[in-house]
Structure 1
């Protein structure tokens, strides 16, 4: 094993979807978000596994991601594009039968003029100020849009991972003000919104990070394990240093393992001198700086020379690792680079 291995448990992915699906009423459809290459695990394989579990609607960020997904899944599932109908997207949307979530009057005009009768959805801004039509813009075109029969009207919560945040109730009220009484399917919640309860579920929920083992879905099964091969182990005397910048100095005679992984693999440099890897159940401190291709780890306390060490595993989730880098599990997952050998289970 010359490169690090990303072990991906598709059974756990499906189990996480089923668990999130069970949290909403039977009439609520549970879709799946597979943008950013399936949060780093591979969108085609993730989506095919989820399709087998029962997913009928998928969400991605951009049309190009939708094309990849359509080629992987075939003609049946609905593939929705958060980014909407951008200039230059028309042929791909038509040819691949994608459903753009229209975010503005400009996108709506483009879609209606170029692809009259083609499926579409609408994204509304309920207070996040990121994507979607604001209330005044929506009011101006609402009747025409509803007559055209959107597949879905959706919005997105800004603070759903904080259940007590007042923004949640504020956005819920705003979304209801813009959509109550309309003859259309509605969607507001991703993973965090699902956990807020039935008031936030409407007709469709679209979990993302929770499928892949991340917070705020605390009951999620781990989906990924990052296994890093040990290239070399050396003895380091007291007072000697390891890695760039002499950032770590041995305070005792130590055995230091050099492993094949680094920031080119998406292992953030911010965890330098501030994280652990695991040999089985035993934590091993990362020492020195994370470099492009290599990490040094203190294995002095191990009774044997390890062949590999795990960076993400059952003992250290993506969110626990993220804390060491002062970031979030989303960034850890989506940063995982292209050099990993990907091994799929299930």
Structure 2
């Protein structure tokens, strides 16, 4: 095969959801935005529904329509971006639940879809999405009279358990929502791991489902194997790749594998990433280019036909650290040229 193979373990994703669900006494939803964190929202959502998830969150209405096709009519699909201009038909036809973020969205929704379910997102200090305290206070009575299905907010620093922002946002959210008789949600993966006081009525894990931090106990959900296109022998002093960025210090055998920054493997990984041939590490050498990466396989006993980049020796977060980014970006950047192979589900 001329392209890499991205293996997606749907059973691992389902097991991660079940393990997180077991940590709470409330409903556990699933975040499947960005095409299921790059792994295929339809396959992922259908698997999670089979595992017991009944509520799903996506970023925008168009994503919600794709998830609806996978999970059928008897699941709640919530839209983080709320009710955007032009969304009314899609929200109505697909039965999607917008999380209203502003006074404008409240007006738009109640005027165009007055009987349609909705939730409200509140800003508790992140200053990204949601209604601020003063705006919420001004319309809360009228909004509550329309029976919202959920009040939610989002934690800014949940992946740092000791960060004072967590307790601050918990206090603000509690003050904004206490005693209103509406189900509440504050915790994504990191918030869920902070403990029961953050759980409220619904948690909504995302990255933890896919094997990423901060859920360190998660099962790995992805493996990436890249085919070797060519092998060559270098004498000491020869160079590899653009800019002569790497020079052989000994006689070396170099494998060129089929992937590069067009496939989500950032140029920042140049000279900083390790491939694996079973249990043997093999350092990448030279610059990552658009479609190709060179790897030093001199110390292998046999020539490999493929090398593993993401797997049991190197999970997504370790690769992200090498690139100077986070697992979320690495996972969602994995390109469309890979052949996707699904296990389980």
TM-score, length basis structure 1: 0.99
Paired position in structure 2 for 1:213: 211
The whole-number CA distance in structure 1 between the counterparts of 2:175 and 2:71 is 36
Aligned residue runs from structure 1 range 252-263, under 5 A: 252-263=250-261
Unaligned runs of 5+ in 1: none
Q: For residue 72 of structure 1, report the CA deviation from its aligned partner.
A: 1.7
1:251 aligns with 2:284: no
- Counterpart-to-counterpart distance in 2, 1:33 and 1:9: 17
* 2:101 maps to 1:112: no
Q: Is the aligned partner of 1:191 residue 2:197?
A: no
Equivalent residue, structure 2, for 1:319 = 317
Inter-partner Cα distance in structure 2 for 1:325 and 1:143: 48
Alignment-derived partner of residue 221 in structure 2: 223
Mapped to 2, the partners of 1:287 and 1:58 lie a distance apart of 42
Correspondences of 1:1-346 after superposition (within 5 Å): 1-25=1-25, 28-346=26-344
Q: 1: distance between equivalents of 2:162 and 2:77?
A: 32
Any unmatched runs of 5+ in structure 2? Answer: none
Distance in 2 (alpha carbons) for counterparts of 1:314 and 1:147: 52
Give aligned pairs, total: 344
Off by >2 Å, runs of 4+ in structure 1: none
The 3-state SS of whatever aligns with 2:145 is helix
3-state SS of the aligned residue for 1:322? Answer: helix
Report the RMSD for the aligned CA atoms in angstroms. 0.5
SS in 2 for 1:44: helix
Could you tell me how far apart the structure 2 residues matched to 1:40 and 1:279 are? Answer: 25
CA distance in 2, matches of 1:221, 1:243: 36
Measured in 2, the distance between the counterparts of 1:237 and 1:40 equals: 41
Q: Distance in 2 between matches of 1:222 and 1:314?
A: 8
The alpha-carbon deviation at position 282 of structure 1 amounts to 1.0
1:239: how far off?
0.7
1:37, CA displacement in angstroms?
A: 0.6
CA deviations 1:93-130 (Å, max 9, x no partner) are 11111000000000010000000010100000000000
